[in-house]
A and B are shown apart, each in its own frame.
Chain A
Amino acid sequence: MNTQYIGSLLQGLWGTVLLSLLSFLFGGLFGLLIALARISPVRAVAEATRIYIQFMQGMPLLVLMGLCFYGPSLLGAQTVNALFAATLAMTFYAGAYLGEIWRGCLQAVPRSQWEAAECLGFSRWQRMRKVILPQGLRLATPPTVGFMVQIVKNTSVASLVVGFTELSYNAKVLNNTTFQPFLYFGLAGLMYFAVCYPLSRQARKLERKLNVSRR
Protein backbone atom coordinates (compact mmCIF):
# COMPACT_ATOMS: atom_id res chain seq x y z
CA MET A 1 0.00 0.00 0.00
CA ASN A 2 1.52 3.34 -0.90
CA THR A 3 0.49 6.93 -0.29
CA GLN A 4 -0.36 7.52 -3.92
CA TYR A 5 -3.14 4.97 -3.64
CA ILE A 6 -4.46 6.58 -0.50
CA GLY A 7 -4.36 9.92 -2.30
CA SER A 8 -6.42 8.37 -5.07
CA LEU A 9 -9.00 7.17 -2.57
CA LEU A 10 -9.17 10.60 -0.95
CA GLN A 11 -9.63 12.16 -4.36
CA GLY A 12 -12.49 9.73 -4.90
CA LEU A 13 -13.94 10.70 -1.54
CA TRP A 14 -13.96 14.32 -2.66
CA GLY A 15 -15.87 13.29 -5.81
CA THR A 16 -18.38 11.47 -3.64
CA VAL A 17 -18.86 14.42 -1.33
CA LEU A 18 -19.20 16.81 -4.26
CA LEU A 19 -21.79 14.66 -6.02
CA SER A 20 -23.64 14.20 -2.70
CA LEU A 21 -23.80 17.95 -2.11
CA LEU A 22 -24.97 18.66 -5.66
CA SER A 23 -27.55 15.86 -5.42
CA PHE A 24 -28.83 17.19 -2.15
CA LEU A 25 -28.99 20.77 -3.38
CA PHE A 26 -30.77 20.10 -6.67
CA GLY A 27 -32.68 17.07 -5.42
CA GLY A 28 -33.86 19.19 -2.48
CA LEU A 29 -35.07 22.05 -4.66
CA PHE A 30 -36.75 19.64 -7.05
CA GLY A 31 -38.16 17.67 -4.11
CA LEU A 32 -39.76 20.79 -2.66
CA LEU A 33 -41.49 21.39 -5.99
CA ILE A 34 -42.60 17.76 -6.08
CA ALA A 35 -43.98 17.96 -2.52
CA LEU A 36 -45.95 21.12 -3.29
CA ALA A 37 -47.20 19.75 -6.61
CA ARG A 38 -48.23 16.50 -4.92
CA ILE A 39 -50.69 18.35 -2.64
CA SER A 40 -51.74 20.85 -5.29
CA PRO A 41 -55.48 21.60 -5.45
CA VAL A 42 -55.21 21.10 -9.22
CA ARG A 43 -56.03 17.42 -9.65
CA ALA A 44 -54.02 16.99 -12.86
CA VAL A 45 -50.84 18.35 -11.28
CA ALA A 46 -51.19 16.21 -8.17
CA GLU A 47 -51.90 13.10 -10.24
CA ALA A 48 -49.02 13.66 -12.68
CA THR A 49 -46.66 14.09 -9.72
CA ARG A 50 -47.97 10.93 -8.10
CA ILE A 51 -47.27 8.96 -11.27
CA TYR A 52 -43.78 10.47 -11.51
CA ILE A 53 -43.00 9.40 -7.94
CA GLN A 54 -44.35 5.88 -8.54
CA PHE A 55 -42.26 5.63 -11.66
CA MET A 56 -39.07 6.81 -9.97
CA GLN A 57 -39.54 4.56 -6.98
CA GLY A 58 -40.00 1.60 -9.29
CA MET A 59 -36.83 2.19 -11.28
CA PRO A 60 -33.33 1.14 -10.20
CA LEU A 61 -30.97 4.06 -9.81
CA LEU A 62 -28.48 2.28 -12.01
CA VAL A 63 -30.89 2.28 -14.94
CA LEU A 64 -31.66 5.94 -14.32
CA MET A 65 -27.93 6.73 -14.37
CA GLY A 66 -27.60 4.92 -17.68
CA LEU A 67 -30.51 6.83 -19.17
CA CYS A 68 -29.08 10.17 -18.04
CA PHE A 69 -25.62 9.39 -19.39
CA TYR A 70 -26.41 7.68 -22.68
CA GLY A 71 -29.84 9.22 -23.27
CA PRO A 72 -28.66 12.70 -24.35
CA SER A 73 -26.14 11.34 -26.85
CA LEU A 74 -28.76 9.05 -28.37
CA LEU A 75 -30.90 12.14 -28.83
CA GLY A 76 -28.06 13.72 -30.79
CA ALA A 77 -26.24 15.69 -28.08
CA GLN A 78 -22.46 15.77 -28.04
CA THR A 79 -20.59 14.00 -25.22
CA VAL A 80 -22.25 14.43 -21.87
CA ASN A 81 -20.27 15.66 -18.90
CA ALA A 82 -20.07 12.79 -16.39
CA LEU A 83 -20.69 14.95 -13.32
CA PHE A 84 -23.63 16.60 -15.05
CA ALA A 85 -25.20 13.26 -15.98
CA ALA A 86 -24.67 11.86 -12.49
CA THR A 87 -26.13 14.98 -10.85
CA LEU A 88 -29.12 14.87 -13.18
CA ALA A 89 -29.89 11.25 -12.32
CA MET A 90 -29.43 11.85 -8.60
CA THR A 91 -31.70 14.91 -8.80
CA PHE A 92 -34.51 12.90 -10.39
CA TYR A 93 -34.02 10.17 -7.82
CA ALA A 94 -33.61 12.29 -4.69
CA GLY A 95 -36.37 14.67 -5.80
CA ALA A 96 -38.90 11.85 -5.94
CA TYR A 97 -38.02 10.47 -2.51
CA LEU A 98 -37.55 13.79 -0.74
CA GLY A 99 -40.77 15.05 -2.33
CA GLU A 100 -42.68 12.11 -0.91
CA ILE A 101 -41.05 12.50 2.53
CA TRP A 102 -41.87 16.20 2.64
CA ARG A 103 -45.41 15.71 1.37
CA GLY A 104 -46.01 13.47 4.35
CA CYS A 105 -44.57 16.09 6.69
CA LEU A 106 -46.68 18.88 5.22
CA GLN A 107 -49.80 16.77 5.53
CA ALA A 108 -48.87 15.93 9.12
CA VAL A 109 -49.43 19.57 10.05
CA PRO A 110 -52.96 19.50 11.52
CA ARG A 111 -55.82 20.61 9.25
CA SER A 112 -56.88 23.05 11.94
CA GLN A 113 -53.75 25.09 11.22
CA TRP A 114 -54.87 25.51 7.62
CA GLU A 115 -58.30 26.50 8.84
CA ALA A 116 -57.01 29.04 11.35
CA ALA A 117 -54.85 30.70 8.70
CA GLU A 118 -57.65 30.60 6.16
CA CYS A 119 -60.01 32.35 8.55
CA LEU A 120 -57.47 35.11 9.13
CA GLY A 121 -57.63 35.84 5.41
CA PHE A 122 -54.39 34.24 4.20
CA SER A 123 -54.28 33.16 0.57
CA ARG A 124 -53.41 29.55 -0.13
CA TRP A 125 -49.80 30.40 -0.90
CA GLN A 126 -49.46 32.64 2.19
CA ARG A 127 -50.83 29.84 4.34
CA MET A 128 -48.35 27.42 2.87
CA ARG A 129 -45.38 29.74 3.24
CA LYS A 130 -46.05 31.28 6.66
CA VAL A 131 -47.87 28.54 8.53
CA ILE A 132 -47.56 25.09 6.98
CA LEU A 133 -44.02 25.01 5.56
CA PRO A 134 -42.27 26.22 8.73
CA GLN A 135 -44.03 23.56 10.78
CA GLY A 136 -43.77 20.83 8.16
CA LEU A 137 -40.08 21.37 7.54
CA ARG A 138 -39.42 21.12 11.24
CA LEU A 139 -41.06 17.71 11.22
CA ALA A 140 -39.09 16.88 8.09
CA THR A 141 -35.60 17.49 9.45
CA PRO A 142 -34.88 14.04 10.94
CA PRO A 143 -36.07 11.97 7.94
CA THR A 144 -34.33 14.37 5.56
CA VAL A 145 -30.99 14.04 7.30
CA GLY A 146 -31.58 10.30 7.31
CA PHE A 147 -32.17 10.30 3.59
CA MET A 148 -28.92 12.21 3.05
CA VAL A 149 -27.18 9.00 4.13
CA GLN A 150 -28.93 7.20 1.28
CA ILE A 151 -27.79 9.87 -1.13
CA VAL A 152 -24.15 9.57 -0.06
CA LYS A 153 -24.18 5.80 -0.41
CA ASN A 154 -26.07 5.80 -3.70
CA THR A 155 -23.61 8.13 -5.38
CA SER A 156 -21.50 4.95 -5.73
CA VAL A 157 -23.85 3.85 -8.51
CA ALA A 158 -22.41 6.65 -10.63
CA SER A 159 -19.12 4.74 -10.81
CA LEU A 160 -20.66 1.78 -12.65
CA VAL A 161 -22.22 3.60 -15.52
CA VAL A 162 -20.89 7.03 -15.82
CA GLY A 163 -17.24 6.67 -14.87
CA PHE A 164 -17.23 9.74 -12.72
CA THR A 165 -14.26 9.58 -10.32
CA GLU A 166 -15.82 9.04 -6.98
CA LEU A 167 -14.89 6.78 -4.09
CA SER A 168 -16.25 3.45 -5.32
CA TYR A 169 -14.89 4.00 -8.80
CA ASN A 170 -11.39 4.73 -7.53
CA ALA A 171 -11.49 1.74 -5.20
CA LYS A 172 -12.40 -0.43 -8.17
CA VAL A 173 -9.53 0.98 -10.20
CA LEU A 174 -7.08 0.37 -7.35
CA ASN A 175 -8.30 -3.19 -7.00
CA ASN A 176 -7.75 -3.74 -10.71
CA THR A 177 -4.12 -2.62 -10.37
CA THR A 178 -3.22 -4.16 -7.02
CA PHE A 179 -5.54 -7.16 -6.74
CA GLN A 180 -6.14 -6.27 -3.11
CA PRO A 181 -9.91 -5.95 -3.08
CA PHE A 182 -10.33 -6.38 0.64
CA LEU A 183 -7.90 -3.60 1.45
CA TYR A 184 -9.15 -0.97 -0.95
CA PHE A 185 -12.85 -1.72 -0.83
CA GLY A 186 -12.43 -1.96 2.95
CA LEU A 187 -10.82 1.47 3.09
CA ALA A 188 -13.50 2.89 0.83
CA GLY A 189 -16.13 1.38 3.12
CA LEU A 190 -14.56 3.06 6.13
CA MET A 191 -14.56 6.39 4.33
CA TYR A 192 -18.26 6.04 3.44
CA PHE A 193 -18.90 5.20 7.06
CA ALA A 194 -16.95 8.25 8.23
CA VAL A 195 -19.24 10.48 6.18
CA CYS A 196 -22.52 8.68 6.87
CA TYR A 197 -22.20 7.95 10.57
CA PRO A 198 -22.22 11.58 11.72
CA LEU A 199 -25.29 12.15 9.55
CA SER A 200 -27.09 9.16 11.07
CA ARG A 201 -26.23 10.32 14.56
CA GLN A 202 -27.43 13.81 13.76
CA ALA A 203 -30.72 12.41 12.44
CA ARG A 204 -31.27 10.42 15.63
CA LYS A 205 -30.42 13.42 17.78
CA LEU A 206 -32.84 15.64 15.88
CA GLU A 207 -35.55 13.04 16.22
CA ARG A 208 -35.10 12.88 19.98
CA LYS A 209 -35.09 16.65 20.26
CA LEU A 210 -38.26 16.93 18.23
CA ASN A 211 -40.02 14.32 20.33
CA VAL A 212 -39.16 16.18 23.50
CA SER A 213 -40.51 19.49 22.27
CA ARG A 214 -43.72 17.85 21.05
CA ARG A 215 -44.02 15.87 24.29
Chain B
Amino acid sequence: MSAVVELKDVHKTFGTNHVLRGVSFAVERGQVAAIIGQSGSGKSTALRCMDRLETIDRGKLHVCGHALHDPKLDLKPLRRDVGIVFQSYNLFPHLTVEQNVTLAPRTVKGMPASQAREIAATVLAKVGLQAKMSSYPEQLSGGQQQRVAIARSLAMEPKLMLFDEVTSALDPQLTGEVLRVMEQLAKDGMTMVLVTHEMAFARNVAHKVVYMHDGKVHESGSADILRRPSTPELAQFISADA
Protein backbone atom coordinates (compact mmCIF):
# COMPACT_ATOMS: atom_id res chain seq x y z
CA MET B 1 0.00 0.00 0.00
CA SER B 2 1.74 3.13 -1.18
CA ALA B 3 -0.85 5.61 0.06
CA VAL B 4 0.73 8.23 2.31
CA VAL B 5 -2.64 9.40 3.54
CA GLU B 6 -5.69 7.20 3.65
CA LEU B 7 -9.06 8.11 5.14
CA LYS B 8 -11.77 5.48 5.41
CA ASP B 9 -15.23 6.52 6.51
CA VAL B 10 -13.88 9.18 8.87
CA HIS B 11 -16.39 10.87 11.20
CA LYS B 12 -15.84 13.87 13.43
CA THR B 13 -18.32 15.72 15.61
CA PHE B 14 -17.87 18.97 17.51
CA GLY B 15 -20.64 19.02 20.11
CA THR B 16 -23.78 18.59 18.05
CA ASN B 17 -22.11 19.67 14.83
CA HIS B 18 -21.37 16.64 12.66
CA VAL B 19 -18.47 18.07 10.66
CA LEU B 20 -17.10 14.99 8.92
CA ARG B 21 -19.76 12.48 7.86
CA GLY B 22 -17.84 9.56 6.46
CA VAL B 23 -14.90 10.95 4.50
CA SER B 24 -12.82 8.57 2.40
CA PHE B 25 -9.96 9.29 0.06
CA ALA B 26 -6.28 8.52 -0.36
CA VAL B 27 -3.18 10.40 -1.40
CA GLU B 28 -0.28 8.53 -3.01
CA ARG B 29 3.40 9.22 -2.53
CA GLY B 30 4.56 12.26 -4.50
CA GLN B 31 1.01 13.40 -5.16
CA VAL B 32 -0.36 16.87 -4.59
CA ALA B 33 -3.95 16.72 -3.37
CA ALA B 34 -6.09 19.83 -3.17
CA ILE B 35 -9.14 19.78 -0.91
CA ILE B 36 -11.66 22.38 -1.99
CA GLY B 37 -15.15 23.28 -0.87
CA GLN B 38 -17.27 25.94 0.78
CA SER B 39 -16.51 27.23 4.25
CA GLY B 40 -17.89 24.80 6.77
CA SER B 41 -17.65 21.83 4.44
CA GLY B 42 -15.17 20.18 6.80
CA LYS B 43 -12.04 20.49 4.67
CA SER B 44 -9.88 22.18 7.30
CA THR B 45 -11.05 19.71 9.94
CA ALA B 46 -10.12 16.82 7.66
CA LEU B 47 -6.64 18.30 7.25
CA ARG B 48 -6.20 18.93 10.98
CA CYS B 49 -7.15 15.32 11.66
CA MET B 50 -4.21 14.24 9.47
CA ASP B 51 -1.78 15.76 11.97
CA ARG B 52 -3.81 14.63 14.97
CA LEU B 53 -4.67 18.20 15.94
CA GLU B 54 -8.16 16.72 16.07
CA THR B 55 -8.96 13.13 16.93
CA ILE B 56 -11.48 11.33 14.80
CA ASP B 57 -14.61 9.76 16.28
CA ARG B 58 -15.06 6.89 13.87
CA GLY B 59 -13.41 5.32 10.84
CA LYS B 60 -9.80 4.66 9.92
CA LEU B 61 -7.08 7.18 9.20
CA HIS B 62 -3.53 6.23 8.21
CA VAL B 63 -0.84 8.86 7.66
CA CYS B 64 2.72 7.83 6.72
CA GLY B 65 2.01 4.39 8.16
CA HIS B 66 0.74 5.70 11.51
CA ALA B 67 -2.73 4.69 12.60
CA LEU B 68 -4.27 7.99 13.72
CA HIS B 69 -7.54 6.38 14.80
CA ASP B 70 -5.61 4.58 17.55
CA PRO B 71 -6.09 6.65 20.73
CA LYS B 72 -2.81 5.35 22.16
CA LEU B 73 -0.73 6.41 19.15
CA ASP B 74 2.71 7.82 19.96
CA LEU B 75 2.55 11.27 18.38
CA LYS B 76 6.28 11.94 18.17
CA PRO B 77 7.07 9.82 15.10
CA LEU B 78 3.94 11.14 13.40
CA ARG B 79 4.98 14.75 13.95
CA ARG B 80 8.43 13.98 12.55
CA ASP B 81 6.91 12.65 9.35
CA VAL B 82 4.32 15.37 8.86
CA GLY B 83 4.82 19.10 8.47
CA ILE B 84 1.96 21.57 8.58
CA VAL B 85 1.65 25.22 7.57
CA PHE B 86 -1.20 27.35 8.91
CA GLN B 87 -3.19 30.26 7.53
CA SER B 88 -1.84 32.56 10.26
CA TYR B 89 1.85 31.50 9.84
CA ASN B 90 2.30 31.02 13.62
CA LEU B 91 5.99 31.87 13.56
CA PHE B 92 7.63 32.30 16.94
CA PRO B 93 7.67 36.10 17.35
CA HIS B 94 10.48 36.16 19.90
CA LEU B 95 12.96 34.41 17.59
CA THR B 96 14.73 35.46 14.40
CA VAL B 97 13.96 33.78 11.11
CA GLU B 98 17.01 31.55 11.45
CA GLN B 99 16.15 30.62 15.05
CA ASN B 100 12.57 29.87 14.00
CA VAL B 101 13.90 27.37 11.50
CA THR B 102 16.63 25.82 13.65
CA LEU B 103 14.67 25.53 16.91
CA ALA B 104 12.87 22.29 16.06
CA PRO B 105 15.87 20.43 14.55
CA ARG B 106 17.92 21.41 17.58
CA THR B 107 15.32 20.78 20.26
CA VAL B 108 13.46 17.82 18.85
CA LYS B 109 16.24 16.06 16.94
CA GLY B 110 19.08 17.22 19.17
CA MET B 111 21.03 18.42 16.15
CA PRO B 112 24.24 20.42 16.74
CA ALA B 113 23.91 24.15 16.10
CA SER B 114 26.23 24.23 13.09
CA GLN B 115 24.37 21.46 11.29
CA ALA B 116 21.00 23.06 12.06
CA ARG B 117 22.25 26.35 10.62
CA GLU B 118 23.32 24.61 7.43
CA ILE B 119 19.86 23.12 7.06
CA ALA B 120 18.33 26.53 7.76
CA ALA B 121 20.43 28.09 5.01
CA THR B 122 19.31 25.39 2.57
CA VAL B 123 15.59 25.58 3.29
CA LEU B 124 15.57 29.37 3.46
CA ALA B 125 17.31 29.50 0.07
CA LYS B 126 14.58 27.19 -1.21
CA VAL B 127 11.92 29.73 -0.22
CA GLY B 128 14.08 32.64 -1.39
CA LEU B 129 14.66 34.23 2.00
CA GLN B 130 18.30 33.57 2.75
CA ALA B 131 18.85 37.31 3.11
CA LYS B 132 16.30 37.55 5.94
CA MET B 133 17.99 35.14 8.37
CA SER B 134 18.43 37.64 11.17
CA SER B 135 15.10 39.46 10.79
CA TYR B 136 12.27 39.02 13.25
CA PRO B 137 8.88 37.83 11.95
CA GLU B 138 7.20 41.19 12.57
CA GLN B 139 9.70 42.82 10.18
CA LEU B 140 8.53 40.63 7.30
CA SER B 141 5.55 40.83 4.99
CA GLY B 142 2.81 38.20 5.29
CA GLY B 143 4.09 36.40 2.23
CA GLN B 144 7.62 36.30 3.59
CA GLN B 145 6.38 35.07 6.97
CA GLN B 146 4.45 32.30 5.29
CA ARG B 147 7.53 31.26 3.32
CA VAL B 148 9.52 31.15 6.57
CA ALA B 149 6.79 28.96 8.03
CA ILE B 150 7.17 26.61 5.07
CA ALA B 151 10.96 26.58 5.54
CA ARG B 152 10.50 25.87 9.25
CA SER B 153 8.48 22.78 8.42
CA LEU B 154 10.88 21.66 5.68
CA ALA B 155 13.82 21.83 8.10
CA MET B 156 12.36 18.78 9.86
CA GLU B 157 12.49 16.89 6.55
CA PRO B 158 8.89 15.72 6.59
CA LYS B 159 7.55 13.03 4.27
CA LEU B 160 4.23 14.82 3.95
CA MET B 161 3.35 18.50 4.00
CA LEU B 162 -0.07 19.82 4.94
CA PHE B 163 -1.15 23.33 4.00
CA ASP B 164 -4.21 24.83 5.70
CA GLU B 165 -5.44 27.75 3.56
CA VAL B 166 -1.95 29.19 3.63
CA THR B 167 -2.66 32.05 1.23
CA SER B 168 -6.06 33.13 2.54
CA ALA B 169 -4.63 36.01 4.56
CA LEU B 170 -2.49 37.36 1.72
CA ASP B 171 -3.06 39.79 -1.13
CA PRO B 172 -2.77 38.46 -4.71
CA GLN B 173 0.87 39.44 -5.16
CA LEU B 174 2.02 37.83 -1.90
CA THR B 175 -0.19 34.84 -2.65
CA GLY B 176 1.75 34.41 -5.88
CA GLU B 177 5.13 34.24 -4.19
CA VAL B 178 3.92 31.63 -1.70
CA LEU B 179 2.26 29.54 -4.40
CA ARG B 180 5.45 29.56 -6.47
CA VAL B 181 7.33 28.08 -3.51
CA MET B 182 4.66 25.41 -3.14
CA GLU B 183 4.77 24.65 -6.84
CA GLN B 184 8.52 24.13 -6.66
CA LEU B 185 8.04 21.81 -3.68
CA ALA B 186 5.56 19.80 -5.71
CA LYS B 187 8.05 19.56 -8.58
CA ASP B 188 10.66 18.29 -6.14
CA GLY B 189 8.34 15.39 -5.43
CA MET B 190 7.00 16.33 -2.00
CA THR B 191 3.72 14.69 -1.06
CA MET B 192 1.34 17.53 -0.28
CA VAL B 193 -2.23 17.93 0.90
CA LEU B 194 -3.60 21.43 0.77
CA VAL B 195 -6.85 23.05 1.67
CA THR B 196 -7.18 25.95 -0.70
CA HIS B 197 -9.39 28.49 -2.38
CA GLU B 198 -6.87 29.00 -5.18
CA MET B 199 -8.66 27.25 -8.03
CA ALA B 200 -5.98 28.12 -10.57
CA PHE B 201 -3.34 26.52 -8.38
CA ALA B 202 -5.47 23.42 -7.88
CA ARG B 203 -6.06 23.19 -11.61
CA ASN B 204 -2.41 23.57 -12.57
CA VAL B 205 -0.51 21.81 -9.81
CA ALA B 206 -2.77 19.30 -8.07
CA HIS B 207 -2.72 15.68 -9.21
CA LYS B 208 -5.87 15.08 -7.31
CA VAL B 209 -8.77 17.31 -6.38
CA VAL B 210 -11.15 16.45 -3.56
CA TYR B 211 -14.34 18.46 -3.46
CA MET B 212 -15.96 18.37 -0.04
CA HIS B 213 -19.56 19.25 0.56
CA ASP B 214 -21.55 18.86 3.79
CA GLY B 215 -18.83 16.85 5.51
CA LYS B 216 -18.45 14.34 2.70
CA VAL B 217 -16.32 13.90 -0.38
CA HIS B 218 -18.83 14.96 -2.98
CA GLU B 219 -16.62 14.51 -5.99
CA SER B 220 -12.96 13.68 -6.47
CA GLY B 221 -10.54 12.84 -9.22
CA SER B 222 -7.84 14.45 -11.32
CA ALA B 223 -7.80 18.21 -11.81
CA ASP B 224 -10.03 17.57 -14.81
CA ILE B 225 -13.08 17.57 -12.54
CA LEU B 226 -12.55 21.30 -12.22
CA ARG B 227 -13.00 21.67 -15.98
CA ARG B 228 -15.77 19.12 -16.32
CA PRO B 229 -17.54 18.76 -12.98
CA SER B 230 -20.03 15.92 -12.88
CA THR B 231 -22.15 17.15 -9.99
CA PRO B 232 -24.19 20.35 -10.03
CA GLU B 233 -22.78 21.35 -6.60
CA LEU B 234 -19.19 21.39 -7.83
CA ALA B 235 -20.23 23.12 -11.05
CA GLN B 236 -21.88 25.83 -9.01
CA PHE B 237 -18.91 26.08 -6.64
CA ILE B 238 -16.52 26.59 -9.54
CA SER B 239 -18.72 29.09 -11.33
CA ALA B 240 -18.94 31.15 -8.14
CA ASP B 241 -15.16 31.37 -8.18
CA ALA B 242 -14.83 32.45 -11.80
Contacts and interface: CB of A to CB of B under 8 A. Distances in A.
B223 to A, nearest CB: 28
Interface stretch (A11-19, A71-79, A97-105, A112-120): A112-120
A121 B92 contact: no
Given A121-B104, A121-B156, A130-B103, A113 B92 contact: yes
Most chain B CB atoms below 10 A, which of A118, A119, A134: A119
A119 B91 CA distance: 12
Contact of B107 (A112, A118, A130, A135): A130
Interface residues of B, number: 23
A26 interface: no
A201 interface: no
Interface residues of A, number: 18
Nearest to A126: B107
Contacts of A118: 53, 79
Contacts, number: 50
A171 B82 CA distance: 67
Contact of A120 (B79, B94, B138): B79
A112 B88 contact: yes
A135 B93 contact: yes
B90 interface: yes
Contact of B53 (A113, A115, A131): A115
Contacts of A135: 92-94
Contact of B108 (A115, A116, A122): A122
B135 to A, nearest CB: 14
A138 B94 contact: yes
Contact of B90 (A115, A123, A126, A134): A115
* Shortest 5 CB-CB contacts between residues of A and residues of B: A116-B90, A121-B79, A120-B104, A121-B108, A112-B90
Given A116-B90, A121-B156, A134-B94, 5 more contacts: A116-B91, A117-B92, A119-B53, A122-B107, A135-B93
